[in-house]
Amino acid sequence: MELEIRAREALIAHAREAAPAECCGVLLGRPGAIIDAVRTRNAADETTRRFLIDPLDHFAAIRAARLRGLEVVGFYHSHPASAPEPSARDVDEFSYPGHLYAIVSLQSEPPEIRLFRFTDGKFQDPGVGS
Protein backbone atom coordinates (compact mmCIF):
# COMPACT_ATOMS: atom_id res chain seq x y z
CA MET A 1 0.00 0.00 0.00
CA GLU A 2 1.44 3.35 -1.04
CA LEU A 3 0.75 6.49 1.00
CA GLU A 4 1.43 9.31 -1.46
CA ILE A 5 3.30 12.37 -0.21
CA ARG A 6 0.30 14.68 -0.72
CA ALA A 7 -1.82 12.49 1.57
CA ARG A 8 1.00 12.14 4.14
CA GLU A 9 1.48 15.91 4.30
CA ALA A 10 -2.28 16.49 4.61
CA LEU A 11 -2.56 14.03 7.52
CA ILE A 12 0.31 15.61 9.44
CA ALA A 13 -0.87 19.19 8.82
CA HIS A 14 -4.39 18.35 10.02
CA ALA A 15 -3.10 16.60 13.15
CA ARG A 16 -0.85 19.54 14.05
CA GLU A 17 -3.62 22.11 13.52
CA ALA A 18 -6.13 20.18 15.64
CA ALA A 19 -3.77 19.38 18.54
CA PRO A 20 -4.30 18.90 21.41
CA ALA A 21 -7.69 17.59 20.17
CA GLU A 22 -7.90 14.60 17.85
CA CYS A 23 -8.55 15.24 14.17
CA CYS A 24 -10.26 12.87 11.76
CA GLY A 25 -10.98 12.44 8.10
CA VAL A 26 -11.42 10.22 5.06
CA LEU A 27 -8.72 8.62 2.90
CA LEU A 28 -9.22 8.71 -0.88
CA GLY A 29 -7.44 6.57 -3.41
CA ARG A 30 -7.43 3.54 -5.63
CA PRO A 31 -6.51 -0.07 -4.95
CA GLY A 32 -2.92 -0.02 -3.72
CA ALA A 33 -2.61 3.74 -3.18
CA ILE A 34 -3.84 6.44 -0.83
CA ILE A 35 -3.82 9.59 -2.94
CA ASP A 36 -5.44 12.23 -0.74
CA ALA A 37 -6.99 12.92 2.63
CA VAL A 38 -10.22 14.85 3.16
CA ARG A 39 -10.64 16.61 6.48
CA THR A 40 -13.85 16.11 8.38
CA ARG A 41 -15.18 17.72 11.50
CA ASN A 42 -14.74 15.76 14.70
CA ALA A 43 -18.28 15.46 16.06
CA ALA A 44 -17.08 14.03 19.40
CA ASP A 45 -16.86 16.14 22.53
CA GLU A 46 -13.32 17.60 22.58
CA THR A 47 -12.80 16.57 26.20
CA THR A 48 -13.22 12.84 25.47
CA ARG A 49 -9.98 12.24 23.52
CA ARG A 50 -11.81 10.40 20.77
CA PHE A 51 -13.04 11.05 17.29
CA LEU A 52 -16.31 10.76 15.45
CA ILE A 53 -16.44 11.67 11.78
CA ASP A 54 -19.27 14.10 11.13
CA PRO A 55 -21.83 12.20 8.98
CA LEU A 56 -22.44 15.14 6.63
CA ASP A 57 -18.70 15.47 6.02
CA HIS A 58 -18.47 11.71 5.43
CA PHE A 59 -21.09 11.89 2.67
CA ALA A 60 -19.44 14.97 1.18
CA ALA A 61 -16.13 13.07 1.02
CA ILE A 62 -17.82 10.18 -0.78
CA ARG A 63 -19.23 12.60 -3.37
CA ALA A 64 -15.85 14.35 -3.74
CA ALA A 65 -14.13 11.00 -4.30
CA ARG A 66 -16.59 10.03 -7.03
CA LEU A 67 -16.16 13.36 -8.81
CA ARG A 68 -12.39 12.78 -8.87
CA GLY A 69 -12.63 9.17 -10.02
CA LEU A 70 -11.38 7.94 -6.64
CA GLU A 71 -12.76 5.73 -3.89
CA VAL A 72 -13.02 6.08 -0.14
CA VAL A 73 -10.32 3.60 0.87
CA GLY A 74 -10.30 4.35 4.58
CA PHE A 75 -10.29 6.79 7.45
CA TYR A 76 -7.79 8.54 9.70
CA HIS A 77 -7.46 10.21 13.05
CA SER A 78 -4.69 11.55 15.24
CA HIS A 79 -3.16 10.63 18.56
CA PRO A 80 -1.71 13.95 19.73
CA ALA A 81 0.21 12.49 22.68
CA SER A 82 0.35 8.73 22.17
CA ALA A 83 1.71 6.09 19.81
CA PRO A 84 0.03 5.37 16.45
CA GLU A 85 -1.61 2.17 17.70
CA PRO A 86 -5.36 1.49 17.71
CA SER A 87 -6.84 2.03 21.14
CA ALA A 88 -9.41 -0.30 22.68
CA ARG A 89 -12.06 2.29 21.77
CA ASP A 90 -10.82 2.35 18.15
CA VAL A 91 -11.20 -1.44 17.96
CA ASP A 92 -14.67 -1.34 19.54
CA GLU A 93 -16.02 1.48 17.38
CA PHE A 94 -14.54 0.87 13.92
CA SER A 95 -17.05 -0.74 11.59
CA TYR A 96 -15.77 -0.66 8.01
CA PRO A 97 -14.34 -4.12 7.22
CA GLY A 98 -11.66 -4.15 4.54
CA HIS A 99 -10.98 -0.41 4.81
CA LEU A 100 -7.70 1.21 5.76
CA TYR A 101 -7.25 3.06 8.99
CA ALA A 102 -4.44 5.58 9.49
CA ILE A 103 -3.31 6.93 12.83
CA VAL A 104 -1.10 10.02 12.97
CA SER A 105 0.98 10.31 16.14
CA LEU A 106 2.45 13.64 17.20
CA GLN A 107 4.30 11.95 20.06
CA SER A 108 7.62 12.24 18.22
CA GLU A 109 9.20 14.47 15.60
CA PRO A 110 8.78 13.86 12.77
CA PRO A 111 5.22 12.64 13.33
CA GLU A 112 4.63 8.95 12.71
CA ILE A 113 1.80 7.52 10.59
CA ARG A 114 0.80 3.89 10.81
CA LEU A 115 -1.68 2.21 8.51
CA PHE A 116 -3.87 -0.73 9.37
CA ARG A 117 -6.50 -2.72 7.51
CA PHE A 118 -9.62 -3.64 9.48
CA THR A 119 -10.29 -7.34 8.81
CA ASP A 120 -12.21 -9.90 10.85
CA GLY A 121 -12.72 -7.43 13.69
CA LYS A 122 -9.00 -6.74 14.03
CA PHE A 123 -6.51 -4.15 12.82
CA GLN A 124 -3.78 -5.71 10.69
CA ASP A 125 -0.67 -4.14 9.19
CA PRO A 126 -1.16 -3.86 5.40
CA GLY A 127 2.58 -3.54 4.83
CA VAL A 128 3.11 0.22 5.04
CA GLY A 129 5.23 2.11 7.54
CA SER A 130 5.73 5.79 8.05
Which residues belong to the active site? Answer: 22
98 φ/ψ sector (left φ>0, alpha ψ -120 to 50, else beta): left
Asked whether 26 and 102 are in contact (CB, 8 A), the reply is: no
Q: For the sheet containing 2-3, what is the strand order?
A: 2-3, 33-40, 24-30, 71-79, 100-105, 112-119, 122-124
Report in angstroms the alpha-carbon separations of 33 from 8, 68, 79, 123.
12, 14, 23, 18
105 contacts 83 by C-beta, under 8 angstroms: yes
